[in-house]
Amino acid sequence: MDVLQRGLELGEVVCMLPLGNLQWEAFGDVDAAELAYRAGVAAGDMNCRTNLGLLLLEERDDRVGAEVELRRASADGDALADQLLSKHWGG
């Protein structure tokens, strides 16, 4: 995890999604996961956008923020974002 954290600090986009996933899924650190996903989104990683949307929905109960992120990811062609939008917002 230290390597991924260092990569995030250096702006290495490839580290941001795995770091966010590890923080959230393995350690339950929602705040750290959100920071990693947001860094990925800022760097243009649309997978981070989808995961951020899911985190906002499941952990923050922020339906508005989640929908915004998922709609942006969907517009970029993310199939998982499409599925989540259909499931939670009907499309």
Give the span between the Cα atoms of 78 and 84, in whole angstroms. 10
State how far the Cα of 12 lies from the Cα of 6, in Å rounded to an integer: 9
Domain that holds residue 53: 2-89
Q: What is the pTM of this model?
A: 0.94
20-79, pLDDT tens digit by residue?
A: 999 999 999 999 999 999 999 999 998 999 999 999 999 999 999 999 999 999 999 999
Lowest pLDDT segment from 5-9, 16-20, 37-41: 5-9
Total domains in the fold of the chain: 1
Residues 70, 82: Cα–Cα separation, whole Å: 8
Secondary structure E strands in the chain? none
Per-residue CA distances from 29 to 32, 58, 69 (Å): 6, 13, 20
The enclosing domain of 56 has a CATH number of 1.25.40.10
- Identify whether the C-beta of residue 41 lies closer than 8 Å to the C-beta of residue 48: yes
